[in-house]
Amino acid sequence: MDSEGARVARDWLAERGVTPVDGAWVRLTAEGDEEPLSANDVAHEWTDKALEDPDLDNAGRVRVALGLLDLLDQYAVAMYLKVTPLDPATEHLLWQAFRDRLEHPDSAEPVTYALWVDWFEDPASVETAFAEVVVGLDELAEGPLRRARRVLVVSGPVPWRLKHDLYRRAAGTPALHEALFHGLRGSLHDVYGDLDREAALDLLAGLDLPEERVAVLRGDLRAS
């Protein structure tokens, strides 16, 4: 994802001898050699360094890390952001960046995966995380509609009391029926999935999807 943040992160890496070459990355060693690196290597080695950079303030550190997320498109960046203590101002930067990425046509997989396995599975963070990524979804224009789809698909671990309203609204929006189906299935089958079976059956009955797919999930929901 080419963004201003990505350009900031690229410059920050270049100052430390890490540069892109032919779709990969290299680091200039003390001996003057070029050491090849994958995007995942860069994410693991440099995200925590960015988040601890003594030459930057809190907001600057988070901006570089978010730029690394755009630049590298790696889950590891989002993972480090999850475990880094943030003050309210930098939390705002994080969630705005996540919402922007969830609405962008480019890949949002590092963010959606992080939401699923880190933020939504953690009882200490799920309420805040879910509220932040669904805020402003009342008007489902193209970008918010894309965000709603992506959140629904990974919402299985979110407590039913938090997501039921979004699910009901999605059931009334045919463009979200496929994503809602994935959300209902994850709510049932994810390790930390959560749902109300009767309410889920009611929602499932209203989805405009092939009956053979709906029937399988209906059977699973009715099973003891």
pLDDT digits (tens, 9 = 90+) for 107-154: 899 999 999 999 999 999 999 999 999 999 887 789 999 999 999 999
Look at residue 18 and give its three-state secondary structure: strand
Q: pTM for the complete prediction?
A: 0.92
Q: What is the number of other CB atoms lying within 10 angstroms of the CB of residue 1?
A: 17
At residue 22, the pLDDT reads 81
- Domain ranges, ordered by start, for the chain: 1-89, 120-224
Provide the token pair at 131: 């509220």
Reported as type and span, the H/E element at residue 22 is: none
pLDDT at 164: 97
- In the chain (224 residues long), the average pLDDT of successive 10-residue segments reads 86 94 84 87 96 95 96 96 92 96 93 98 97 90 94 98 97 96 97 96 95 94 83
